[in-house]
Amino acid sequence: MRIAINGMGRIGRLLARRLLSLEGIELVAVNDIMEPENLAYLLRYDSVYGTLPMSLSYIDGQIMVGEKRFAVFQQGDPVKLPWAELEVDIVLECSGSFTHTSSSGPAAAIHLRAGARKVLLSTTGSPDLPLLIYGFNNHLLTPAVDIVAPGGCMTNCSTHVLKLLDQPGIESAQVNILHSYTSRQELVDAPHAPYRRGRAAAESIIPVEIDLAGSLERLLPALKGRIATVSTRVPVANGAMADFTVQLQTSVTAGDVNALFRQAAEREYKGILEYTEEPLVSLDIKGNTHSCVVDGTLTSVVGRQLKLIAWFDNEYGYTSRMIDWLFYWKKLII
């Protein structure tokens, strides 16, 4: 299966690194407006995941990594990209610029017009795009679907947790995602809307508004009007901790809840959800491929109110699900 990536930010670059080591998938091209030499440098050296353990160079419009190579484009208008000529099966749309829909259709369809067969976003996308969470509603992906929004890292963590907690029944839920700072924040204080995102990301704990509740209501309609979410950005470069406060409909013990998640991690959500009773901190989760790692040591129940904590690597865990989607889609279109 032939893959191209549009947008080489944090997710695009990590995907490129990972795709180069996968069998059955060939990275044939990437597109970003940055200078190709700068892109090659950022692919080679990464402050979170370390130096790529193989040679990498940019020569004559191509990046060569070991014995593999892929084309590099600097095209601001994706419709001009040679996806048809390169016989691209799926474009990973990681620029964040083509997630909306207008009267003329989904913006991401620009890659279809350029000749790609399918498009996988790296975010939730607009409400009229299929929102498919791997391991939750895979069955909705059919050969007729051309553009998929696989949610974000927070959605992929929260969906599975809330789906399982709906077994004892959820009256209401508050979710706080303690998340590493991102590129949409500032390194030093600067003008920004909203104001808090303009404060120095490495110096403060910064609450930010997120659209997670809307995504979860789309996926779990029974929770509509009964869930609230916020993200608290903390001064680390990687990793996240999801803090769920859930009012349950029935009485359970912390042991009951832990048993539920332990079994799910071994059965229906194996490879997607992990359960641990190790005394983890955020750094321990770096490079973890799961969408969420439920920490049984922090589960507590007071009355019918449950506190549950789940860790996740917001970059590595999320790109793992995007890769899962590639192999799942491959079965339908190849």
- For 225-232, what is the mean pLDDT? 97
Q: In the chain, what's the furthest Cα-to-Cα distance?
A: 66
What DSSP designation does 52 have?
-
Q: Is the pLDDT of residue 104 over 90?
A: no
Tens of pLDDT, residue by residue over 55-83, are 999 999 999 999 999 999 999 999 999 99
H or E element, residue 321: helix 316-333
Q: Is the pLDDT of residue 161 over 80?
A: yes
- For 84-101, what is the mean pLDDT? 95
Q: Which sign does the torsion angle of CA 267, 133, 121, 45 carry?
A: negative
Confidence tier at 174 by pLDDT (50, 70, 90): very high
* Domain range summary for the chain, segments of one domain joined by +: 2-122, 153-314
Distance CA 168, CA 220 (A): 15
CATH-assigned architecture of domain 2-122? 3-Layer(aba) Sandwich (3.40)
- Find all residues with CB under 8 Å of 230, minimum gap 6, and list them: 175, 176, 177, 207, 208, 209, 210
Q: In sequence order, what are the beta bridge partners of 246?
A: 173, 306
Q: Is the pLDDT of residue 316 over 80?
A: yes
Task: Please list the active-site residues.
Answer: 153
- Find all residues with CB under 8 Å of 103, minimum gap 6, and list them: none
Confidence tier at 108 by pLDDT (50, 70, 90): very high
Tens of pLDDT, residue by residue over 15-54, are 999 999 999 999 999 999 999 999 999 999 999 999 999 9
Q: What per-residue confidence (pLDDT) applies to 334?
A: 66
- For 180-184, what is the mean pLDDT? 94
Q: Is the pLDDT of residue 128 over 90?
A: no
Q: What per-residue confidence (pLDDT) applies to 263?
A: 98
Confidence tier at 103 by pLDDT (50, 70, 90): confident
- For 105-109, what is the mean pLDDT? 93
- The correct CATH number of 153-314 out of 3.20.20.70, 3.20.20.370, 3.30.360.10, 3.30.2080.10 is 3.30.360.10
CB count in 10 Å sphere of residue 8: 24
Contact 306, 252 (CB under 8 A): yes
